[in-house]
Amino acid sequence: MSGQITTKPSVLQILVDRLHQPVGAVSRERAALHLLDWLGQAKLGLRQPAAAGFIANLETNIAGQATAISGAHGDWWQVLQLNAALGNLLEMDDLHRSSILHPGPVIVPAAIAVAEKMGASGEALLTAIVRGYEATIRIGAALGTTHYRYFHNTSTCGTFGAAAAAASLLNLDRHQTAHALANAGSRTGGLWQMRHEACETKSLHNVMAAQTGVQAALMAVHGVRGPLHLLDGPEGLFAAMSDGANADNVVADMDANWRIHEVSFKPWPACRHAHPVIDAALAVLNAVDIETIEKISIETYKSALDFCNKPTPVTEHDAKFSLQHCAAVVFANAHNLGNPTLADFQPAQLQLEPVVRLRKLVEVRENAEMSKQFPAHYQASITVTHGDGRVVTHLQHDAKGDPEVPLSTDEITAKARMLMTSAEVLDVETLIAATLAIAAETLVANWTKRWTHA
């Protein structure tokens, strides 16, 4: 009609249309595995020194009936703060490669908090988790690698996922959901400087992302609006925080499977950038003579070196971010299949003579082709040279737990069992079974109450 004004929807509004599509049973089952994966890590995370301040904060705010992962009761907002701080402490949290972020530690506790508050069912919780992962991953994939240079993607993008999960549980309409995501994103970010210093800021980033997303969704219920061009506007997220953002990635393949199916599970207790090195070392382990190794040469992508080039780790955190240490412990554990364990990163283990000797033999360098293929693939090669000149080499194209080399349901469950057993959970099998069957639970609160007895 002549004179009619049409307004093109923003990419955020198109994303919201995706978030309102129905979620099927297969995707909810996948969400239950991520819920279990988070739960195992959070349970053992409670015992980490970095959790102490978050636990103490909850203990000073004990009024309320929400259930923390510790089994304590408190105000639901404070409970969310503790639960969201725990999922990354072991460096075993799930990962989406191309968006370079960890969805679980932010989205899962945010969804649990709102589900418990609203009296939601287990099925509604799992649906919300799927939608939260979708928003986080799509926006993360659009930001590009230049954002990752300075910003903690999990914090930046996790807040959108928390808002999407909360919006799902609050039954917000499209208009309200769009404003919730817009307001959540308007305050997002998280600088990487914290990885250079001893602090708990990485966990606090997750807390703030979860709480900001939930808060924005709660405000949207009452009509609080946000900038709908927050992502693609001239002073929006992409313009301000990335030199290579591609807004089309937010809305690409809208009819494809939910993106939660692309998320990787981490089998080893170390930074994900170290996992290709661990897998490469495991691949050559049976062909290596540990006693006669003369040199261990590693090639990998630039971000792995930026984060994990620590030849002489002195703390547990250092060790988990050390390519040198991760390779060394695989060979030092040759008598026990080589698999790195939680104990291998404890300070006392760092100075063991076999580990120190092997670590000194490791040299690392960038492989330009691997850097080009990152973050679509996390790769590493290892070349082991022996004193007699014999050379063993392996190229690891993708890390174990990625979609190309997936962990089975049994392996994911075994990981959760190991973590819960290490955390001295009283009835591990009952808690695992209840989590995997949560879709049938009429109230999420019935499931969280099990934490009190675990």
CA distance 182 to 369: 37
pLDDT tens digits for 180-218? 999 999 999 999 999 999 999 999 999 999 999 999 999
For 296-318, what is the mean pLDDT? 96
pLDDT at residue 407 greater than cutoff 70: yes
β-bridge partners, 101: 96
**Cβ 233 vs Cβ 7: under 8 Å:** no
Q: Supply the pLDDT for residue 6.
A: 45
Q: Supply the pLDDT for residue 1.
A: 37
pLDDT tens digits for 230-240? 999 999 999 99
pLDDT at residue 75 greater than cutoff 80: yes
CB atoms within 10 A of CB 299: 22
pLDDT tens digits for 92-132? 999 999 999 999 999 999 999 999 999 999 999 999 999 99
At residue 5 the predicted structure's pLDDT band, cuts being 50, 70 and 90, is very low
Show the CA angle centred on residue 365, arms to residues 376 and 140, nearest 5°: 25
At residue 3 the predicted structure's pLDDT band, cuts being 50, 70 and 90, is very low
Instruction: Retrieve residue 35's tokens.
Output: 């819920």
For 246-271, what is the mean pLDDT? 96
Place of tokens 């040198």: 324
Amino acid at 121: S
Q: What is the largest CA-CA distance in the chain?
A: 84
pLDDT tens digits for 322-333? 999 999 999 999
At residue 2 the predicted structure's pLDDT band, cuts being 50, 70 and 90, is very low
Q: Supply the pLDDT for residue 73.
A: 85
Q: Supply the pLDDT for residue 129.
A: 98
pLDDT at residue 16 greater than cutoff 50: yes
Q: Supply the pLDDT for residue 452.
A: 75
Packed helices 25-45 and 76-86: angle between N→C axes, nearest 10 degrees: 90
Q: What is the CA radius of gyration of the chain?
A: 22
Q: H or E stretch including 347?
A: helix 347-350
pLDDT at residue 354 greater than cutoff 80: yes
Domains of the chain: 11-267+410-453 (1.10.4100.10), 272-396 (3.30.1330.120)
pLDDT tens digits for 266-296? 999 999 999 999 999 999 999 999 999 999 9
Average pLDDT, the chain: 95
For 420-435, what is the mean pLDDT? 96
pLDDT at residue 155 greater than cutoff 70: yes
